[in-house]
Amino acid sequence: MSFIQLKDVVKRYNNNISVDHLNLTIQEGEVFGLLGPNGAGKSTTIKMLSGLLKIDQGHVLVDGLSVASQPLEVKRRIGLVPQDLAIYEGLTAKENVTFFARLYGLRGKLLKSRVEEALDFVGLADRSGDKASSFSGGMKRRLNIACAIMHHPKLIIMDEPTVGIDPQSRNHILESVRTLNRMGSTIIYTSHYMEEVSAISTRVGIMDHGHLIACGTQEELRCKVAQDNKIIIQAANIVDEAIQELNNHPRIKKVTLQDQMIELLQLASSQAYLQDILFILSKHQVKIVSLTQVEPDLEALFLSLTGRTLRD
């Protein structure tokens, strides 16, 4: 059975539908990246998944438990890093994590060791006695993470954890996602940054207007836009016959020539076609200076599915 199951999940605000009959399964051990532009429905989905928001329709299971009928059991298994910081500015880093550890029922020696472990994990051990109000945005985000992981949750959900922070904290957070996953937690990570989701996810779901418009491994998603595979060749001695022959190749969709640059759009990605291209060019004594294969990315997929960029 899947670790997480969302079946036909619907959420409306007033008369507007924010999550529209969403079906999604996530297996234990995954780093699942939920990608989509602002307003796509990612946070609403996360809130329903973690029991913070009532579902209008459908059902959600986490580790075989119903979020609707066993909310406390589900919450115990989840570490939620919310988009809006959930820390107390007036408390020290240590007091913040201790507060949340108590809420999760930790006491005594175990509480003390878990608080230290969590602060150490996010790189704030040496600032544990300082008030959160003295921290940079990135440090506050890291403290937010410490507060969510000290109880060793099976599922860690991070909602846009890198918005508006410095590159160093961002890298620290991305690295900690990998480490937490290696240590055994399943991760759900929402972002509207394609590069981040691409860097850490084992599988990606793309949301838009409350719908899951694509879902799969990055390789599977890339295949969906295979027709957009591009090869750029810088060359000398380009002759018309070579361009003509490339144009006639059954797998090449379009050839454009500008100055000393040949741009090819391929129907599908394959090394075999690359061999064909090299063969044709060398047959006509075209001298290749450089060759670049441009693989379609998640941004290209979003564009091909919606006609918009992620940042529109």
Name the residue nearer to ligand ADP (CB basis): 36 or 153.
36
Name the residue nearer to ligand ADP (CB basis): 38 or 217.
38
Extract the tokens encoding 266: 């391929």
Distance CA 236, CA 269 (A): 25
Rounded to 5 degrees, what angle do the CA atoms 188, 190, 193 make?
135
Query: Is position 36 an interface residue for ligand ADP (rule: CB under 6 A)?
Result: yes
Query: Is position 229 an interface residue for ligand ADP (rule: CB under 6 A)?
Result: no
Pairing of strands 230-236, 261-266: antiparallel
* Single residue of 6, 31, 40, 115 touching ligand ADP by CB under 6 A: 40
Query: Is position 191 an interface residue for ligand ADP (rule: CB under 6 A)?
Result: no
Distance CA 223, CA 267 (A): 10
* Half-sphere exposure at residue 173, Cβ-oriented, CA atoms within 13 angstroms: 30
In what order do the strands lie in the sheet containing 57-62? 16-26, 4-13, 57-62, 65-66
Query: Is position 311 an interface residue for ligand ADP (rule: CB under 6 A)?
Result: no
Residues of span 63-102 touching ligand ADP by CB under 6 A: none
Q: By CB under 6 A, which span of 37-45, 54-62, 217-225, 271-279 interacts with ligand ADP?
A: 37-45
* Single residue of 3, 24, 30, 42 touching ligand ADP by CB under 6 A: 42
* Single residue of 18, 96, 169, 266 touching ligand ADP by CB under 6 A: 18
* Single residue of 26, 31, 35, 41 touching ligand ADP by CB under 6 A: 41
Please count the residues of the chain.
312
Query: If you ran DSSP here, which 8-state letter would residue 41 be given?
Result: S
Q: How many residues bind ligand ADP (CB under 6 A)?
A: 10
Extract the tokens encoding 156: 């860690």
Are the C-beta atoms of residues 71 and 21 closer than 8 Å to each other? no
* Single residue of 23, 27, 38, 260 touching ligand ADP by CB under 6 A: 38
Query: Is position 43 an interface residue for ligand ADP (rule: CB under 6 A)?
Result: yes
Minimal CA–CA distance to 67: which of 58, 25, 205? Answer: 58
Name the residue nearer to ligand ADP (CB basis): 43 or 144.
43
Residues at the interface with ligand ADP (CB under 6 A): 13, 18, 36, 38-44
